[in-house]
């Protein structure tokens, strides 16, 4: 019920050898100029209490990334206003690119990844987040993700 991307689409393994780039399980910085956090796009599974989630990366402004990093281990951080970001994970199971979809990053309690809310557009991923998906669609995603 969960699939995740290891790094933002723009990450190159060569960046790991530089002093101004970092890739951890939750945060990424590229050349000291581009900032990303990992979060979850949660999609309700219709007819159940289950939630399907995509582990994705979202770019943030330097100021928002710094604020999120400063509060990373601070209890109560979930009271923060959402941060604007751009989706930087390509989910190939969708017919249209998922890169650069507008998002809001909702900080959650310490120990939980942020919730990524897509702008309510007609993109299939945004529609699925709003309306939910069937268990058959979850199976379809699982099969496509293995290919």
125-142 pLDDT, tens digit each:
999 999 999 999 999 998
pLDDT tops 90 at residue 98: yes
What CA–CA distance (Å, rounded) separates 90 from 85? 15
Residue in the structure block whose two tokens are 């289950």: 50
pLDDT score, position 143: 86
pLDDT score, position 147: 60
Would you place residue 64 in the very low, low, confident or very high pLDDT band (cuts 50, 70, 90)? very high
Asked if 65 and 90 count as a contact pair (C-beta separation under 8 A), the reply is no
What CA–CA distance (Å, rounded) separates 107 from 76? 10
Q: What is the mean pLDDT of the chain?
A: 95
């Amino acid at each position: 019920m969960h699939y995740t991307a290891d790094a933002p689409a723009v990450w190159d393994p060569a960046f790991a050898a530089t002093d101004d780039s970092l890739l951890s399980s939750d945060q990424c910085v590229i050349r000291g100029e581009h900032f990303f956090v990992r979060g979850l796009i949660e999609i309700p599974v219709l007819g159940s209490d289950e939630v399907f989630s995509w582990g994705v990366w979202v770019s943030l402004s330097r100021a928002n990334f710094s604020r999120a990093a400063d509060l990373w281990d601070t209890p109560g951080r979930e009271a923060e206003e959402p941060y604007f970001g751009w989706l930087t994970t390509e989910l190939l199971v969708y017919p249209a690119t998922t890169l650069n979809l507008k998002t809001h990053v909702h900080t959650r309690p310490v120990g939980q990844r942020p919730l990524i809310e897509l702008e309510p557009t007609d993109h299939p991923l945004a529609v699925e987040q709003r309306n939910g998906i069937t268990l058959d669609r979850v199976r379809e995603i699982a099969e496509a993700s293995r290919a």
